[in-house]
């Protein structure tokens, strides 16, 4: 019987402590620019690492061209990473660096040739 009041007092004390601490803590809202920068830098870093590991398989004339593209990609990734790591980084500078990196990645990951028209698209063009 003596344990019940002590246990009840302990539970009440824990509830009070939890009530005081929990409302004061909120989860930080994610920064969309920072997330975008981290994703772009991660993709760029992985792509550069894989491409660098395959350079030996290329013929010498193609290797120089790929190395040039890789150096641009690595420079852009390093620029974004430096801004992410800097506590004094300006969001405008980070936005610009992410834009440049995404543009570089877009040129590498997206086929820049015009898409071939399908038979359905050709028929639609003929009807108009």
Question: Which domains does the chain possess?
Answer: 30-108 (1.20.5)
Largest interatomic CA distance in the chain: 92
Q: What is the pLDDT of residue 39?
A: 95
Q: Are 98 and 36 in contact (CB under 8 A)?
A: yes
Count of C-beta atoms within a 10 Å radius of residue 44: 23
User: Residues 10-30: pLDDT tens digits?
Assistant: 777 777 777 777 766 566 778
Q: What is the pLDDT of residue 36?
A: 95
* Per-residue confidence band for 2, with pLDDT thresholds at 50, 70 and 90: low
The answer to whether the Cα torsion of 14, 20, 21, 23 is positive or negative is positive
- In this predicted structure, the answer to whether residue 71 has a pLDDT above a threshold of 90 is yes
Closest CA relative to residue 72, chosen from 42, 40, 105: 105
């Amino acid at each position: 019987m003596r344990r019940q009041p002590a246990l009840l007092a302990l539970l009440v004390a824990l509830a009070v402590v939890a009530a005081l601490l929990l409302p004061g803590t909120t989860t930080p809202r994610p920064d969309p620019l920072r997330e975008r920068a981290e994703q772009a830098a991660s993709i760029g870093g992985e792509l550069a690492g894989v491409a660098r590991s395959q350079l030996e398989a290329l013929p010498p004339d193609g290797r120089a061209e790929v190395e040039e593209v890789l150096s641009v990609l690595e420079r852009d990734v390093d620029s974004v990473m430096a801004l992410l790591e800097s506590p004094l980084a300006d969001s405008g500078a980070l936005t610009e660096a992410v834009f440049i990196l995404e543009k570089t990645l877009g040129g590498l990951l997206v086929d820049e040739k015009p898409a071939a028209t399908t038979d359905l698209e050709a028929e639609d063009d003929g009807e108009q």
